[in-house]
Amino acid sequence: MAGAQTSPSDSSAGRSLKLVAFGDSLTAGYNLPGSAAFPPVLEQALRQKGLAVEIVNAGVSGDTTQGGLERLDWSVPEGADGVILELGANDALRGVDPAVTRQNLEAIIARLTERKIPVLLAGMYAPRNLGEDFVKRFDAIYPELAKKHGLVLYPFFLDGIAGDRALNQADGLHPTADGVTVIVRTILPTVERFIATLQPRS
C-alpha cells in the first residue's frame, strides 16, 4: 500500500510526517463532506505518491488572520513537522487594512518559527473590485513575507478554480468537491517540494 511507504525525508522508520493545514473555510471544507475537504484530499494524493504524511485539518470557517493568530497555539499541536498556512481571504472580503493582515501573518510565521515549525505559505489575491491600491498592497503580502522569512510559497491557493462556476459552490467563493480536487492537483508539486525540506520530529 502506498500509505505504508516512507518519503526520503522520513528518516524515522514507520513514522508519518505530521502537517497541519491551518486556515479558513477553504481549508475547513465549507459545505462539503469531511472527506472532501482540502486536508484529507491532499493527504490521500500524497500517500498515492508514496509519501507517509498525515494532514490535520485546522481550518475554521470565517477565520481572519487575527482569529488565526489568536488560536494558533492550540490549533497547531506540539509534534507538528510543518504547517500549510492559508489565511487572509476573509480579511480581503471584509476590507481589512492590508497592513493589519500582513502584521498578523508575520506574527503567525514568527511564532511558528520560534517553535521550529516550517511554514508553506499559501497566498491569496484580493478581489479586484476593492480598488487598485488595496489590491496592490494585499497581493504583495504573501511573496514579500515568503522572501523575507525564506518560506516555500504557493502564490494563489485558488489557482485553477477562481471564477469557474463549475468548480465553485453557488456563492462563487467556496470550491466544490471537484474544485478541491483541482486545488490539490495544482498545489501538489509545491507541497512535495515543501515536504522534501522537512525533518520528522522524534
Active site residues: 25, 171, 174
**Edge-first strand listing for the sheet containing 53-59:** 53-59, 17-23, 82-86, 119-122, 152-154
Distances, alpha carbon 7 to alpha carbons 12, 45, 166, 197, in Å: 10, 13, 35, 11
Rounded CA-CA distance 136/134 in Å is 6
Q: Which residue has the cell 470565517?
A: 62
Of 52, 68, 126, 63, the residue nearest 95 (C-alpha): 126
Cα atoms found within 13 Å of the Cα of residue 142, Cβ hemisphere only: 23
Inter-residue contact 108 to 45 (CB < 8 Å): no
Nine-digit cell at 71? 488560536
Rounded CA-CA distance 27/22 in Å is 7
- What is the separation, in whole angstroms, between the first and last Cα of the chain? 24
